[in-house]
Chain A
């Protein structure tokens, strides 16, 4: 491919100036005239029947405009992510299912008044027996959390291919490992916020901080029976999402909409930091038991993963986790047989949800810890063991994934090359060093909830500049910049001539949202196709002006020129005016709907190529373990990733660094703890994530492959960059001191206890 003008270049971020200067507008900043403020009354009990709510005193407090309870909610306002698991309501109707569950809401002229009024609401509860561990919740006799799911199992995913038991029986070696992940919280700087406003004619505008404005609009329409044409969802810059704002946590949206309707004034609800922990989901806690069977050559015969997903009190992305992990588990290595069984189980804890690599991060911690253990048990180099079993381009995997581009092998080779993989491990007194690696695969938009489509509208202006109306939002991920690059490349204009217009469902095409590592690739493809169509229109005028065939033209950097003699050139503006300023005038507007080439999995077996592209990666960690204290220092992470063609290397680098650091946090320190149903650390004093002070040396290696279904060969990046960090660290610890910690986070205390236990055995 000839060198591209913009794709593959570290174009400065188009949103940088306003963000650096602190002038970017976030929804949390937004204040409307006469706006009212809403606050939520939280259940102090993990499981309790609501016997009586007395709101009279709260309603009498001066400044209070409205007090809402479950009785005020429309009966059909029930939703979730997977339709068979819809169980969420804006406010509790019968009982509270976790500490923090919203039992009432107050709307007042100020936040302080609303807060004060909450204390005046009297709720009489009948405390019910509660259950906090999903493995206990699925046993007979456990307290029932939702009557509709009497065994507490919200969702089961079973996928099985090949003769699993036979393979295990005939195997040369079988290993088994049980692992558990933790509740990592998104900790976005901006918490969830929703502001609703109705016009007298019944036109609803909702300003919310979401990764999915179109989905929001769809849910508001369905649950509240409002025609979608009468709904406008506006999303400004989003202050971080990481999947937390791609979930179905529409509670405060519904409350602001209902309250705005009842009061006739704009109403704002937002989550405090504590509420963000309790109500806005976290990475689902997962328990895995992994069995691996290999033959004499170290080839994988079968893998079985039995997992239990902690759903929490309501179903958000928990059920999705059960399925995503089944697909991802079967897309990295070759197996002759494969079994995945996931039970997603209700408990009386705050609901889990989607977070960067939804389900796959905790799952990969388990499976890649197990792969490492298996290699050690059979005396094989863990890198070599993986190398023998990796999928490659052209393969169709056991679950039906069609691997159309794959740099997994190259990633592994490149990562190992960057360290002394087979060399000695230096130590400093009690501090021992180790190296560990892990691999992962992740999708680029998954056809889990319908077609993975995207749209783009191009509106060319007569001065040669262009607006791209896109169904995306900018949440700090950099997609406004990559989409600008893609449009500039395809249309041949300069990046500064492009403006991405998004975050308004009344003008933008439907968008699945900025989630699932899909935006640059799938929305980018729609943008590219719409740009090419616009280019085709301009080339018609240009061909007339330059007296040549449109097929002989090319465009780059704001010039349209004859390929064979580039000095024959005109501007986009000149080409536009040629077709516009004449009888039968044509304006350059284009609209494209794009469906990524993926398949819906078979409803019974789950078999199918449910993503258009798969990204691969290796994380290699070097750690130093203090054997006297159990403290682990991550010295270095080599991150080698095949994310297709890199559209913006500086942006990719930022994602790679941030992803690795998020992985360090998940591996070593992050855990939203709930004890006996009570949240222990729902704030940033007690919940700790890594900061720049914890940053290891990071080395990013980009192995570029060409994804045939991506714009200029791009594929998903945003989630891949975190995946496999946690097992790489766990495997490095094992390499350093010979103990395997199978539960996240890997605290000094766990490491020290394991070391003492090992000494005791020796």
Chain B
């Protein structure tokens, strides 16, 4: 297989290359996903624009308000092991620790993961719950901010245009009172991709028992990552007991549209998704089940 490998050193060069090569150009960072597709000849690139060495895309920075900015070409392992991330968003530390294996976490990048948009993946559900903002740039210098909730548009599809480059993922601090957790369920080896990946942020009323607000991000189950709005609405004002949560889930997941794949059938995912949502909420609240 022959293709052109174009290593770039700056975002400007990457954008120029994207513009120059149009649809034939593909951004290549860690190569974790693309190299597999290339080896299996599913994907035959014309030009690979290699951003692995673009320093300005690899960073983790705190913002004065307690948020974070993460460069799109930052490897999973850097996020997983960052003390700053651990201090501000322990959810991200746990989620990035869950990604594949340490070898892949040393190679794969957050931007690559998000743009590849493979449904069986852990970070998106957490970034949905944190209401992250994805910053993308075009060669003409324009920049746009895509809210996480609008970033994933289809099965292996994201909102980026062919000439756009994801540069940064930004998260603001959660409002006070939120507690977070994530759950990753595999049906085969623990090193498998997730069958179900759920992140939750829950805030209780001052009584400690009633749900003030909940955010639930769903991954692995459907073709597109999303927040479970009906569940979040249903939980508001409800007691955070096992029975009450189950009762909400029983009524609010009617629109669930699970995938069937090698890991499980749609029927199975439909049955156990509520179990893992409830467990994630309980985990966030510091209970185990």
Chain A residues packing against B (C-beta within 8 Å):
112, 115, 274, 429-430, 628-631, 665, 668-669, 673, 680-681, 683, 685-686, 688-691, 693-694, 747-749, 752
Answer whether residue B243 sits at the interface, using C-beta atoms and an 8 A cutoff: no
Chain B residues with Cβ under 8 A from A668's Cβ?
A: 188
State in angstroms the CA–CA spacing of A734 and B276 once bound together: 24
Chain B residues with Cβ under 8 A from A680's Cβ?
A: 262
The minimal Cβ–Cβ distance linking B41 to chain A, given in whole angstroms, is 8
Say whether, besides A429-B289, A694-B189, A749 and B265 are in contact (CB < 8 Å): yes
Say whether, besides A693-B190, A694-B190, A748 and B262 are in contact (CB < 8 Å): no
Contact yes or no, B185 A631, CB < 8 A? yes
Contact yes or no, B275 A673, CB < 8 A? no
State in angstroms the CA–CA spacing of A685 and B189 once bound together: 11
Contact yes or no, A628 B188, CB < 8 A? no
Chain A residues with Cβ under 8 A from B191's Cβ?
A: 688, 691, 693-694
Answer whether residue B187 sits at the interface, using C-beta atoms and an 8 A cutoff: yes
Answer whether residue B142 sits at the interface, using C-beta atoms and an 8 A cutoff: no
In the complex, the chain A residue whose C-beta lies closest to that of B191 is A691
Answer whether residue B36 sits at the interface, using C-beta atoms and an 8 A cutoff: yes
Contact yes or no, A749 B40, CB < 8 A? no
Contact yes or no, A752 B188, CB < 8 A? no
21 contacts between A and B (CB under 8 A): A274-B40, A430-B289, A628-B272, A628-B275, A629-B185, A629-B276, A631-B187, A665-B189, A669-B188, A669-B189, A673-B262, A680-B262, A681-B262, A683-B40, A688-B188, A688-B192, A691-B191, A747-B187, A748-B187, A748-B268, A749-B268
Interface size on B, residues (CB 8 A): 22
State in angstroms the CA–CA spacing of A752 and B189 once bound together: 18
In the complex, the chain B residue whose C-beta lies closest to that of A669 is B188
Q: Which of B250-288 contact A (CB under 8 A)?
A: 262, 264-265, 268, 271-272, 275-276
Chain B residues with Cβ under 8 A from A748's Cβ?
A: 187, 264, 268, 272
State in angstroms the CA–CA spacing of A680 and B261 once bound together: 10
Say whether, besides A628-B275, A629-B185, A691-B189, A749 and B289 are in contact (CB < 8 Å): no
The minimal Cβ–Cβ distance linking A759 to chain B, given in whole angstroms, is 13
In the complex, the chain A residue whose C-beta lies closest to that of B196 is A629
The minimal Cβ–Cβ distance linking A741 to chain B, given in whole angstroms, is 14
Chain A residues with Cβ under 8 A from B101's Cβ?
A: 691
Contact yes or no, A629 B189, CB < 8 A? no
Q: Which of B1-19 contact A (CB under 8 A)?
A: 1-2
State in angstroms the CA–CA spacing of A720 and B276 once bound together: 39
Contact yes or no, A752 B262, CB < 8 A? no
Chain A residues with Cβ under 8 A from B192's Cβ?
A: 688
In the complex, the chain A residue whose C-beta lies closest to that of B278 is A628
Task: Give which listed residue, A683, A693, A752, contacts B268 with CB less than 8 A.
Answer: A752
Give the 5 A-B residue pairs with the shortest CB-CB distance, closest first: A669-B188, A688-B188, A693-B190, A749-B268, A688-B189
Chain B residues with Cβ under 8 A from A749's Cβ?
A: 187, 264-265, 268
The minimal Cβ–Cβ distance linking A184 to chain B, given in whole angstroms, is 13
Main secondary structure of the interface of B (DSSP, over half): loop
Chain A residues with Cβ under 8 A from B276's Cβ?
A: 629
In the complex, the chain B residue whose C-beta lies closest to that of A116 is B1
Contact yes or no, A752 B289, CB < 8 A? no
Chain B residues with Cβ under 8 A from A673's Cβ?
A: 262
State in angstroms the CA–CA spacing of A693 and B100 once bound together: 11
A-B CB contacts (within 8 Å), total count:
57
State in angstroms the CA–CA spacing of A690 and B276 once bound together: 23
State in angstroms the CA–CA spacing of A298 and B184 once bound together: 46
Task: Give which listed residue, B2, B262, B268, B272, contacts A686 with CB less than 8 A.
Answer: B262
Chain B residues with Cβ under 8 A from A683's Cβ?
A: 40
State in angstroms the CA–CA spacing of A740 and B188 once bound together: 19
Chain B residues with Cβ under 8 A from A665's Cβ?
A: 189
In the complex, the chain B residue whose C-beta lies closest to that of A680 is B262
Chain A residues with Cβ under 8 A from B265's Cβ?
A: 749
The minimal Cβ–Cβ distance linking A316 to chain B, given in whole angstroms, is 26
Contact yes or no, B275 A112, CB < 8 A? no
Chain B residues with Cβ under 8 A from A274's Cβ?
A: 40
State in angstroms the CA–CA spacing of A496 and B192 once bound together: 43
State in angstroms the CA–CA spacing of A747 and B187 once bound together: 7
State in angstroms the CA–CA spacing of A628 and B274 once bound together: 10
Chain A residues with Cβ under 8 A from B271's Cβ?
A: 752
State in angstroms the CA–CA spacing of A681 and B263 once bound together: 11
Per-residue CB proximity of B71-108 to A under 8 Å, as 1/0? 00000000000000000000000000000010000000
13 more contacts with CB within 8 A, not counting A115-B1, A690-B189, are: A112-B1, A629-B272, A629-B275, A631-B187, A669-B188, A685-B193, A686-B262, A693-B191, A694-B189, A747-B187, A748-B187, A748-B264, A748-B268
State in angstroms the CA–CA spacing of A710 and B10 once bound together: 68
The minimal Cβ–Cβ distance linking B107 to chain A, given in whole angstroms, is 15
State in angstroms the CA–CA spacing of A689 and B189 once bound together: 6
In the complex, the chain B residue whose C-beta lies closest to that of A429 is B289
Q: Which of B173-204 contact A (CB under 8 A)?
A: 185, 187-193
In the complex, the chain A residue whose C-beta lies closest to that of B36 is A685
Chain A residues with Cβ under 8 A from B262's Cβ?
A: 673, 680-681, 686
In the complex, the chain B residue whose C-beta lies closest to that of A626 is B275
The minimal Cβ–Cβ distance linking A602 to chain B, given in whole angstroms, is 44
State in angstroms the CA–CA spacing of A629 and B40 once bound together: 34
Q: Which of B193-247 contact A (CB under 8 A)?
A: 193
In the complex, the chain B residue whose C-beta lies closest to that of A750 is B268
State in angstroms the CA–CA spacing of A759 and B277 once bound together: 23
Chain B residues with Cβ under 8 A from A628's Cβ?
A: 272, 275
The minimal Cβ–Cβ distance linking A553 to chain B, given in whole angstroms, is 56
State in angstroms the CA–CA spacing of A693 and B275 once bound together: 23
State in angstroms the CA–CA spacing of A685 and B100 once bound together: 11
The minimal Cβ–Cβ distance linking B259 to chain A, given in whole angstroms, is 14
State in angstroms the CA–CA spacing of A748 and B187 once bound together: 6
Chain A residues with Cβ under 8 A from B189's Cβ?
A: 665, 669, 688-691, 693-694
State in angstroms the CA–CA spacing of A681 and B265 once bound together: 15
State in angstroms the CA–CA spacing of A642 and B40 once bound together: 45
Say whether, besides A668-B188, A693-B190, A752 and B272 are in contact (CB < 8 Å): yes
State in angstroms the CA–CA spacing of A567 and B204 once bound together: 84
Task: Give which listed residue, A112, A685, A691, A752, contacts B190 with CB less than 8 A.
Answer: A691
Chain A residues with Cβ under 8 A from B275's Cβ?
A: 628-629
Query: Chain A CB within 10 Å — which of B36, B188, B264, B289 has the most?
Result: B188
Query: Chain B CB within 10 Å — which of A673, A680, A688, A690 has the most?
Result: A688
State in angstroms the CA–CA spacing of A430 and B264 once bound together: 21
State in angstroms the CA–CA spacing of A690 and B262 once bound together: 16
State in angstroms the CA–CA spacing of A694 and B1 once bound together: 37
State in angstroms the CA–CA spacing of A598 and B190 once bound together: 44
The minimal Cβ–Cβ distance linking A196 to chain B, given in whole angstroms, is 26
The minimal Cβ–Cβ distance linking A744 to chain B, given in whole angstroms, is 13
Query: Chain A CB within 10 Å — which of B2, B36, B101, B190 has the most?
Result: B190
